[in-house]
Chain A
Amino acid sequence: MTKPPSPAVVLLGAQRFDPSLGAAVSELGVTGRIATITAGWQEREDEDEELSAHLGGRTVNLRLHARGDELFREDPALRDAHRERQASLRHRQDFYRIRLEHELEADRMIRGRAAPPEILAEQVQASLDGIRELDQWHLGLCARIRTEFEARWDLANRPSIVRHRRELAEALAGCDAVAIAGGHVATLVNRLVLFGVAELVQHHTVFAWSAGAMAISDRVVLFHDSPPQGPGASEILDAGIGLIPGVVVLPEPERRLHLDRKDRVQRLVRRFEPATCLALPARSRITWRDGVFSSAHDVLQLRPSGRAVPFGVRPRRVSWS
């Protein structure tokens, strides 16, 4: 017997000004109700009139942000512990960032030195290996902190959470798809993880954009090539909920990435290899199903050559210098 295809996951670019979500929903033939997750908008989670109208009014907002607040009101011990864990994660992020900035600075200095090509290549590779190792270490540390927290507080069986998860499962039972909006990616990941959304949506078609698309990957990379300070150092925030493994999602490339800077693009791609780095400009979208991408519209893939090419275009052979 052939295994039925898994539900599709559609990644989209920013939806704020010129939404393309409706077209993606139509393309996949989703006609039923759509559960929405707007927790990334934080306290403005329920200001979803435009989103609902765009989807023809057939939405059910899962209110994950408000549920989180309710949960913490009902369960102050969990709230305090959660707050403490978040503070601890922030501390770790700060220290990771300090190390990372030094690694990146070392890499920059090494690249700027004059040396025989083979020595330079060896040292550049060593810098990259150091950065990749640090990224992995940080990711592992975050995972350990989360796992320990979940075990200590028995989140899977804690009545205050179980009730919300049951309600969410009931709401999702009446929906054909889930739409996960952008916003604050850390808040979004927290709420998705807290309520076990990965498990709850495994039989649903998922549409996710901007921070939503980042949050459902297995590794959330924060990035900005021109922040108010310095050259901008991409950093790993944490794991996402892993609906689409092996992908680094990079929304808003128009204003966040210098795609014309081959050196920067190259470094980003090599740092996260073998993951696929996808830049999602506004109106872009791509469908993922069973580990295969299809239906790419305006999505850019960042290549080891340092180029950003439309997804699906065969890369030209490149050589490393």
Chain B
Amino acid sequence: MTARLAIHKLIDGRVDAARVQAFLAGRSFPIVEGTSVTFVWVGHADNVQLRHWIYGLESSNALVRVAGTDLWHLTLEIPHNSRVEYKYEIHRGGHSGWIEDPLNPNRARDPFGANSVLQSEGYEDPTWTNPDPVTRPGVLEPFVFDSNALGRRTGQLYLPARFRRSRQYPLLVVHDGSDYLKYAGMKTVLDNLIHRLEIPDMIVAFTDSPDRLQEYANDERHARYLTEELVPDLAKRFPLYDQAQARCIMGASFGAVAAMSTAYRFPGFWGRLLVQSGSFAFTDIGKRNRRGPLFDRVVEFVNQYRAQPRAVSERVFVSCGVYESLIYENRSMVPLLSATGMEVRFVEARDGHNWENWRDRLREGMSWLMPGPLMFIYE
């Protein structure tokens, strides 16, 4: 027999302000009871909608007000191990606005602000995403690079703790570097995974673009900047391994397209490729794509790749959230990539198109692409 949900226990009876207060007290929201998740908002409104980014569910779901109270609620079935970012859309007096859930302190930030986060049963923030006092931190140094291809570029360089010029290091180049640092906590992740020996000491170039939609959409200049300008410059200034398997390029969304197209334009140079929720839009016939003109050049590139797939790297890690529409594009890329002889690993997660999804997959991706010395160190 299914246990009655907390919200049903409340509303199956006379509800007054005192009972609402008792219901709210000491409870975490949203209320997670198995796969049933109850969203709750309290306040005066004409209408309250749950806005989330789960592809496959209605993007807007109305909360129901408990008669005679200010309490609004909605119960959805959310699978275990899910992470869902959401907001409430409040309609009042002919106006409306989106707000974070005041009853839920759990937030995820992104370039557009912040969202509330539902963690369904089974999901936990990975321990390696949180600062660890025993971890020796690496350092971040800003860099400015005058590119012949693209003009002045900025970014940040990560040097691992105990960096030594007498050693050699692999290199990781990250698209949307500042966002990965700010919203995916990537410095903490690097510090922790290096400390745990799961990835090697490495140098990481966090690169940024002032016009990512243009430059990340299979732009030849961008590929040239990274491959023929930035890497050689870094190799002059830092002791880098000069081997493809010690060079990894990564990105998410359009950044994943940029990583893929850069590797495509310089096959064999980037021995490791990490693409997260790649915007690998394509058409099976014709050139019109449902995502709009921003994707035209991406579609052109992906169509070309799909027509003649070829090995561009040695090892490719692909991840995507099952709650994002791009899951179909990413799933369909995997057999194409594998058929070229590249080693491919594909990981799906019950999450959306967001930075914490990308953060949570970093351990799997990086430690597979560039395993650390865990197997070599026996203290």
Contact = CB atoms under 8 A, between A and B. Distances in A.
Interface in A36-57: 40, 43
B274 to A, nearest CB: 14
Interface residues of A, number: 26
A100 B245 CA distance: 19
6 contacts: A16-B379, A69-B166, A183-B378, A223-B375, A227-B374, A252-B378
Contact of A185 (B167, B245, B343, B376): B376
A261 B164 CA distance: 41
A281 interface: no
A25 B325 CA distance: 65
B162 interface: yes
Contacts of B166: 43, 69
Interface of A: 14, 16, 40, 43, 69, 87, 94, 98, 182-186, 210-211, 214, 222-224, 227-229, 235, 237, 251-252
B379 A224 contact: no
Given A43-B162, A69-B166, A94-B245, A228 B367 contact: yes
Interface residues of B, number: 20
Given A43-B164, A228-B363, A229-B367, A222 B375 contact: yes
Contacts of A222: 375-376
A214 B364 contact: no
A2 B243 CA distance: 56
A57 B379 CA distance: 21
B363 A184 contact: no
Interface of B: 162, 164, 166-167, 198, 243, 245, 343, 363-364, 367-368, 371, 373-379
A228 B198 contact: yes
B376 A228 contact: no
**Dominant SS among interface residues on chain B:** mixed
Contacts, number: 57
A44 to B, nearest CB: 8
Contacts of A183: 377-379
A241 to B, nearest CB: 16
Contacts of A210: 378-379
B367 A211 contact: no
B374 A224 contact: yes
Contacts of A94: 245
A73 to B, nearest CB: 10
Top-7 shortest CB links A-B: A210-B378, A211-B378, A228-B367, A222-B375, A251-B378, A228-B198, A229-B368
Nearest to A251: B378
Contacts of B371: 227, 229
Nearest to A73: B166
Contacts of B377: 40, 182-185, 211
B379 A186 contact: no
